[in-house]
Amino acid sequence: MSHTILITGAFGYLGGTLLAHLGAARLPAHNKLYALVRSTEQGEAVKQYGAEPLILDRQDEDSVIKCVFNAGITIIYFLIDSRSSDFQVSMIKALAEVRKQTGQGVHFLHTTGGKMFSSHSGHPTDSPLLDSSPTLYDLQKSSRPPHAIMAQAINTNNTVIETAEAYGVKGYIFVPCIVYGKGEGFGNRISIQTTAILRAAKKIRRVYKVDLVCVMGYRRSRTAGLKDFRTGPRSGLENLSKPPRPVWSPNGSLANRSRVSS
């Protein structure tokens, strides 16, 4: 059976860009494509991308379930909130009702951040962390983040997976490792990460250059006779423990851009 798709965050940075590219994505045959909107103006905008506008009261779970069920939605891309889990739970329950009444498979894709799988979230960094690892859920469940905001987002990841499994919905945690550049949607075209960096820079009146230059060399391995890389004598790695110098100061002068020369 063909799927009916709902994209949330169509006015945002990620959702807007995704919606703009769907037309050329050569998707498998599907029924309607819905886009969650908040106003009539946004509704008219998403129509230009071949999507039908949908307005939900996210605070009313019964209304969410009824609306998703009546639209026959079977796939939801959730791109609007990686921290709170209230709206996601309502949508997963709605998908479960569609599955119960139609027997069709349903899917919920939740977008989180790459930092949820980093040292900022209490995860080990001494070995690669693969998206194919069968222990990812256990790792998230047992992590002890040093920051409250990370703990909230990790709890949301766990809640999405646990709720989806409990209701027979196929749940997915989608992790864009980094997002950058100008968005291509009709709404917000700037990443919230970019604006956050600019606000912080204005507040402390400093801009730092942190992409240090690293000089790489190679040597012949004594054991296998193969070449392997090592840092040169003046690599940026020597200075990782030292704070970078500002490249801009309040009087407008430029400071030394790097401690490291090539």
Tell whether 129 is covered by a domain. Answer: yes
Contact by Cβ (8 Å): 146, 122: yes
Q: What is the pLDDT of residue 132?
A: 84
Q: What is the pLDDT of residue 124?
A: 83
- Compute the average pLDDT of residues 39-58: 84
Tell whether 127 is covered by a domain. Answer: yes
Largest CA distance in the chain: 69
Are 171 and 259 found together in one domain? Answer: no
Domain boundary among 151, 171, 194: 194
Are 106 and 226 found together in one domain? Answer: no
Dump pLDDT digits (tens) for 100-111: 999 999 999 998
Tell whether 199 is covered by a domain. Answer: no
Are 142 and 211 found together in one domain? Answer: no
> Is pLDDT above 70 for 237?
no
Which of 18-22, 46-50, 63-67, 258-262 is predicted least confidently? 258-262
Domains in the chain, number: 2
Are 183 and 106 found together in one domain? Answer: yes
Are 65 and 45 found together in one domain? Answer: yes
What pTM was estimated for this model as a whole? Answer: 0.71
Tell whether 200 is covered by a domain. Answer: no
Please state at what angle helix 86-102 crosses helix 61-71, rounded to 10 degrees: 40
Higher pLDDT, 184 or 39: 39
Domain boundary among 194, 217, 236: 194
Dump pLDDT digits (tens) for 166-224: 999 999 998 876 666 776 666 677 777 777 888 888 898 887 776 655 444 444 444 44
HEC-encoded secondary structure of 125-143: CCCCCCCCCCCHHHHHHHC
Are 161 and 103 found together in one domain? Answer: yes
Are 227 and 251 found together in one domain? Answer: yes
Domain boundary among 154, 175, 194: 194
Q: What is the pLDDT of residue 178?
A: 67
Are 177 and 217 found together in one domain? Answer: no
Tell whether 107 is covered by a domain. Answer: yes
CATH number at residue 31: 3.40.50.720
Tell whether 20 is covered by a domain. Answer: yes
Are 48 and 132 found together in one domain? Answer: yes
- The rounded distance, in Å, linking the Cα atoms of 86 and 176 is 22
Are 103 and 210 found together in one domain? Answer: no
173 by DSSP, 3-state: which?
strand
> Is pLDDT above 70 for 258?
no
Q: What is the pLDDT of residue 92?
A: 96
HEC-encoded secondary structure of 22-34: HCCCCCCCCCCEE
Give the CB-side neighbour count of residue 91, counting CA atoms within 13 A: 31
Are 262 and 175 found together in one domain? Answer: no
Domain extent, residue 254, equals 205-262
Q: What is the pLDDT of residue 259?
A: 33
Give the CB-side neighbour count of residue 254, counting CA atoms within 13 A: 4
Tell whether 124 is covered by a domain. Answer: yes
54 by DSSP, 3-state: which?
strand
Are 82 and 160 found together in one domain? Answer: yes
